[in-house]
Amino acid sequence: QIQLVESGGGSVQAGGSLRLSCATHGFPYSGYCMAWFRQAPGKEREGVAGIDTSATSTYVDSVKGRFTISRDNALGTLYLRMNSLKPEDTATYFCAASLCLGPINYSDPRDFLYWGQGTQVTVSS
């Protein structure tokens, strides 16, 4: 059974840090491109960061220099280190997996096949 399970969310004050984890099961993780998306109430799902099978990463401009995506292929786990958090980072964060068969648009949820259930991040000012 394919599973992606996020953890590590919580409530922090502005300027704080969190590390999200996404544990995967049931598919060959090392061969998949992975990403973190987020969705705030009333807003569309937004691609935050992506990482390919070579560990090359990409970020949306609003998180560059603050967030770091990484992957551990041996553990089948994806991470998102979030520093200098801002109230506008408040959202439900989802991890997602793509078959990586061609160019991936890390900002388009339609390019991703498997999804986790999400973990809530709340940043207070």
Cα–Cα distance measured from residue 66 to residue 77, given in angstroms and rounded to the nearest whole number: 20
Q: Can you spell out the DSSP letters for 41-66?
A: TTS--EEEEEE-TT--EEE-GGGTTT
Per-residue pLDDT at 67: 98
Residue 19 sits at the vertex; the CA angle it makes with 17 and 21, to the nearest 5 degrees, is 165
Cα–Cα distance measured from residue 6 to residue 21, given in angstroms and rounded to the nearest whole number: 6
Per-residue pLDDT at 121: 98
Q: Can you spell out the DSSP letters for 82-117?
A: E-S--GGG-EEEEEEEE--SS---TT-GGG--EE--
Per-residue pLDDT at 101: 85
Cα–Cα distance measured from residue 94 to residue 7, given in angstroms and rounded to the nearest whole number: 10
Per-residue pLDDT at 75: 97
Per-residue pLDDT at 100: 86
Q: Average pLDDT by consecutive 10-residue portion of the chain (125 residues)?
A: 97 98 95 97 96 96 98 97 98 96 92 97 97
The answer to whether the CB of 57 falls within 8 A of the CB of 82 is: no
Per-residue pLDDT at 27: 93
Per-residue pLDDT at 71: 98
